[in-house]
Amino acid sequence: MRNLKIEVFKPGQERPERAITMPLTLLHISLTLLPKKIISTLEKDGIDLRGCSELVKEKDLKGTLIEIENHNERLVISIN
């Protein structure tokens, strides 16, 4: 089963401060369980997780989808 993984890192740290892993096939259900702070952070960066549900159709898609970095944190969204 493939998973959508969201990791938030503080500057200079190797390990994520927060990490969320959701099964792609259950993404539409998992979104209702995400903390509002995570959804808000992603929306500020223009990332629509509901649109990510289309990723289920892409069978060969794997690895880092997007990486966003600013002075406060680094956000990595990947499929593994």
| 58 or 80: which leads in pLDDT | 80
79 in Cβ contact with 4 (< 8 Å):
yes
Q: Which domain holds residue 38?
A: 3-79
pLDDT at 15: 95
Per-residue pLDDT tens for 16-68? Answer: 999 989 888 887 787 788 888 878 877 887 787 777 777 777 778 889 988 98
State the CB neighbour count (10 A cutoff) for residue 17: 11
Q: How many domains does the chain have?
A: 1
